[in-house]
Amino acid sequence: MSDYSEVMLAKINPEAELPADVFIFLNGKHVKFKNKGDVLGKEKYDLFMAKNVKSIYVESDLVLEFMDWLTDTKAEDIEDMVKEAGEENRDIIEDSLALKEIVYEVFSDEKLTPDKIEAIQGHVEDFVGKIQKDPITAQAIQAIMARNDDIAAHSVNVANLAVFLGMAVGHGHSFVLENLYMGSIFHDYGKAKIPAEIYANPSHPEYDHWIKQHPENSVKIIRKSEGISDQVFNIMLQHHEYYDGSGYPEGLKGSNIYSLAQIVSMANEIDNLLTQTKSLEVVERYKKVVEMLTMGDGTKWDPKFFPRVTQAFRLGFIGKQEV
């Protein structure tokens, strides 16, 4: 009988070809899940998260080789992104990838504890300190966003976009940027906690109910832990509220919506639209997203900052010649 060694799922690129067979631990046994040469598949990650699965297993005599492969694929991935975004963005790219791993692990844990929140908060403070000195660029965000779209990756993408857009409309204080970042990281936490059998099955009779509830769910679960500010709670709770009152869960209108929640709402919409338009070529994709955002003159967002945010997005992500 073989021995098995545990490997953290968060460290594996879901789209890379596996160098060995991998196993999951099910009902007291190791069961083969994927063969050597297969990919894990990003669609599986959210499901793993919903089931609180944090690790997969490889046969112990292959684990050293597997770990080398992990190190190599990660290094290659970083080099590709640096090539795309420029050497000056290496630090931000490495930080975002590290944060993605932490977020995956924390979200797939059954319980959220104050020490885990503190770990993320510490990371966010460092990150915000860096981008205040040297603002986060569209190139870096773009390179990071081109990767996976599971909940952990989405959370980091939305956070990067939200601080980019927040800074573009004049927010510069650490406190505000940290709240924007933390609120974005946790905005879909409640989604990660939807029971796996419902989350995996959109035709389930309770699916819509759970989706509608996810902002409140995040807050309910996290309230039991400590260390999160009211501003962050408001972002989580209101990231699907729209200025014209058409959002959820409360259908709040206009200035009743917390302004930072509106920025996260836009960042969230942008990342979702980018995922939906993946089949298009890059520049076309970003143009399409601006077109979709401005449909209906952006009545979903506060007119005080909506034009400035879309302008900043256009300038950063499409380029001056296109504006």
The answer, yes or no, to whether the previous bond of 307 is cis (omega within 30 of 0) is no
Q: Tokens representing 251?
A: 């259908």
Residue 238, helix vs strand vs coil: helix
* Minimum distance, C-beta of residue 116 to Fe ion, in the bound complex (Å): 20
Q: Tokens representing 79?
A: 């080099």
Rounded Cα gap, residues 18 and 4, in angstroms? 16
* Minimum distance, C-beta of residue 190 to Fe ion, in the bound complex (Å): 8
Beta bridge partners of 8: 55
Q: Which residue, 188 or 269, has its beta carbon nearer to Fe ion? A: 188
Of 13-21, 85-93, 113-121, 182-190, the segment contacting Fe ion by CB under 5 A is 182-190
269 in contact with Fe ion (CB under 5 A): no
Q: Which residue, 105 or 188, has its beta carbon nearer to Fe ion? A: 188
Q: In 193-221, which positions are buried (b, 16+ CB within 10 angstroms) versus exposed (e)?
A: bbeeebbbeeeeeeeeebbebbbebbbeb
**Cβ-proximal residue to Fe ion, closest one:** 188
Q: Which residue, 188 or 271, has its beta carbon nearer to Fe ion? A: 188
Identify residue 12 by its one-letter amino acid code.
I
Beta bridge partners of 49: none
Of 13-21, 185-193, 242-250, 259-267, the segment contacting Fe ion by CB under 5 A is 185-193
* Minimum distance, C-beta of residue 188 to Fe ion, in the bound complex (Å): 4
188 in contact with Fe ion (CB under 5 A): yes
Q: Tokens representing 17?
A: 């070809």
Interface size with Fe ion, residues (CB under 5 A): 1
- Binding track over 129-168 against Fe ion, x by CB under 5 A: ----------------------------------------
* Minimum distance, C-beta of residue 230 to Fe ion, in the bound complex (Å): 19
Beta bridge partners of 57: 6, 23
Binding site for Fe ion (CB under 5 A): 188
